[in-house]
Copies of this chain bind each other. A is one copy, B any other.
Amino acid sequence: MLEGGGTQMISTSNLDALFHPQSIAMIGASNQRNKWGYRILSNIVLGRYEGRIFPINPSEQHICGLNVYPSILDVPEPVDMALIVVPVPAVSRVIDECLAKGVRAAILITAGFGEIGPEGRLMEAELARRARRGGMIFTGPNCNGIISTPNHLYAMMLTTFPKFAQGGSVSMVTQSGNIGLSMLTRGVQNRVGFSKYVSSGNEACLRTEELIEYFGEDPESRVILTYIEGVKDGRRLFEACRRVGPKKPILLFKSGKTKGGAGAAQSHTGSIAGSNEIFDALCRQTGVIRCGQLDEMFDLAAAFQRQPLPRGPRVGIITSGGGWGVLTSDACEARGLEVGALSAETIGELDRRLPAWWSRNNPIDLVAGTGNRYELFKDCIDLLFGRDEVDAIILSGIGSTLLEQAQEGYVLNETEKQMIAVETTLADLIADAIARYRRPIIPQTDLNAHANPAENPLFKRLNDMGIMVLPDPERAAAVLGAMHRRHRYLERLA
């Protein structure tokens, strides 16, 4: 049983109805292509949602090929979940009708409540009380929908159908629909799969803390993301994080840190930002990972979903460019990782494989000109992990054979094609080594210098295997730093 934002207790079955409804009513459905009542509905249909869908509109007969009902009360079957896009003045009546129909969960898209001012806050609080009392929860108002990939449910405000290529085990609750959309879209680009997504908007009823608890118990959710502008029940959030934190990584982005940001948050979702220091303390005490940038939150989601945790702070850096080795060392040490010396024996082994002028230590600089001999990468990984020299490896500067080829109009010759084919085998080598040694290998390259990284065969292959290529040394080190801290946190608990 969960205690919600209203006065009544709700059951997790309400949230089950949100994510796994057998039937949905779309209240405010429309045939006008530029209206959310059309777009959201068509997204649900195109997403191949397998349950029943009932569009509600008093003056239409068919929308998206479906029968339309004048009111939810006219639907001849039970309705588990309702999507509401009607204008503000109609919302109260619609909520009552949903309650009368026995709906267990709703998505209140409509904006114009608490984010406008005190009157709107009173209105939405009253709606929440009434809903909870009647055994219903809702997310929003002022939100952009939900996604539940196990159920093919894409109930999202999007202008076109989102090709969310694959389901996965990342689940997110976000107070900003745009920030959430940013994470979802990155997921599509980088093949990081989501299980569930909730835009919680003003959180009049359903709140971040409840969803974190739910995701904590949900076997389909393995990594939890949350974007927070303000919290209504800090104690409850703390308790939720304390319970879930040991089980699953929680990645939290809290905005409204500054005076200006807090003001903006209030007019965005009606949130009271609260003290930044208290948030830091909450994160420290519960093992929550507080992200400072959206990039970081996404990078970590990808890494926690795919890579094993490092069992210590020792990082080996293998690079085909000396400058990158220097930057990566700096970035690792700034995050509490160690780029330590290698044993004399390992250096001796490497001496037998690398040209005389290699760096003879960590970072292992494969030196310009040898960077394409990919068996060297394999030898280095096997030596570093096999001899337990390091807990994690960053492969820096990979995939650059194609860097300049991407220049328009250039035609590859046979040698170059061969080089690229060899280069691409590195992807399987990395995946294999991660599995064999159960240690993380973070591929990193200067993505910003690639004209079209999405077309690079090596990056594509890594992408297919769910291994994200980090675009610069800072972000690669940030990933390993956070994974290392997670490992230490779990060790302390054990």
For the complex, give the distance between the alpha carbons of A454 and B334 in Å: 33
Let me know if A106 is at the binding interface, CB within 8 A. no
> Shortest beta-carbon distance, A170 to chain B, in Å?
15
Q: Are B359 and A329 in contact (CB under 8 A)?
A: no
Instruction: Using known A-B contacts A163-B407, A368-B157, A404-B160, determine if residue A256 contacts B330 with beta carbons closer than 8 Å.
Output: yes
Evaluate contact between B267 and A360: CB separation under 8 angstroms.
yes
Nearest-neighbor residue (CB-CB) of A276 within chain B: B330
Complex Cα distance, B323 from A265, in Å, reads 8
Q: A359–B268 Cα gap in the complex (Å)? A: 7
A327 with B454: CB separation less than 8 A: no
Q: Does A489 contact B (CB under 8 A)?
A: no
Asked if A140 is at the interface (CB within 8 A of a chain B CB), the reply is no
Mark contacts of A25-58 with chain B using CB atoms, 8 A cut-off: 1 yes-contact digit, 0 otherwise: 0000000011000000000000000000000000
* Contact partners of A322 in chain B: CB under 8 A: 115, 176, 178, 264, 267-269
**Interfacial chain B residues near A446, Cβ < 8 Å:** 178, 182, 185, 294
Q: Among A112, A162, A163, A407, which residue has the most Cβ atoms of chain B within 10 A?
A: A407
Complex contact A260–B186 (CB within 8 A): no
Cα–Cα distance between A361 and B267 once the two chains are bound (Å): 9
* Complex-state Cα separation, A451 to B360, whole angstroms: 40
Residue contact A268 to B112, C-beta cutoff 8 Å: no
- Select from chain B the residue with minimum beta-carbon distance to A229: B326
Which residues between 147 and 168 of chain A lie within 8 Å of chain B, taking CB atoms?
157-163
Q: Among residues 207 to 265 in chain A, which have CB atoms less than 8 Å away from a CB atom of chain B?
A: 227, 229, 255-261, 263-265
Residue of B111, B159, B178, B361 touching A323 (CB-CB under 8 A): B178
A326 with B368: in contact, given A321-B178, A474-B293 (CB under 8 Å)? no
User: Is there an interface contact between B260 and A181, defined as CB atoms closer than 8 Å?
Assistant: no
Task: Please give, as numbers and ranges, the residues of chain B lying within 8 Å of A229 by CB-CB distance.
Answer: 323, 326
| Minimal beta-carbon separation of A261 from chain B (angstroms) | 3
Chain B hits for A265, CB < 8 A: 326
Q: When chains A and B are docked, how far (Å) is the Cα of A178 from the Cα of B258?
A: 37
Smallest CB separation, A104 vs chain B (Å): 27
* Interface bin, chain A: 35 or more
Is A179 an interface position by the 8 A CB rule? yes
Beyond A295-B472, A415-B34, A452-B454, is A329–B158 a contact (Cβ under 8 Å)? no
Contact A257 B330 (CB under 8 A): yes
Asked if A357 and B179 sit within 8 Å, CB to CB, the answer is no
Residues of B within 8 A of A84 (CB): none
Task: Assess whether B268 is in contact with A323, with CB atoms less than 8 Å apart.
Answer: yes
Cβ 8 A contact of A326, one of B176, B317, B472: B176
B397 close to A178 (CB less than 8 A): yes
A324 at the interface (CB under 8 A from B): yes
| CB neighbors of B among A329-357 (8 A) | 329-330, 332-334, 338-340, 357
A330 and B160: CB pair below 8 A?
no
Check B363–A264 contact: CB distance below 8 A: yes
Q: Which residues of A contact B (CB under 8 A)?
A: 33-34, 111-112, 115-116, 144, 157-163, 174-179, 181-182, 185-186, 188-189, 227, 229, 255-261, 263-265, 267-269, 293-295, 298, 317, 321-330, 332-334, 338-340, 357, 359-361, 363, 365, 367-368, 397, 401, 403-405, 407-408, 410, 413, 415-416, 446, 448-452, 454, 472, 474
Contact sample, A vs B, 7 pairs, CB 8 Å cutoff? A116-B357, A177-B368, A185-B451, A186-B449, A260-B332, A261-B326, A267-B359
Given contacts A33-B415, A268-B326, 9 further A-B contacts (CB under 8 A): A159-B416, A161-B407, A175-B323, A179-B327, A255-B330, A261-B330, A264-B322, A267-B361, A268-B325
Closest 4 CB pairs of A and B: A176-B323, A268-B322, A261-B330, A258-B333
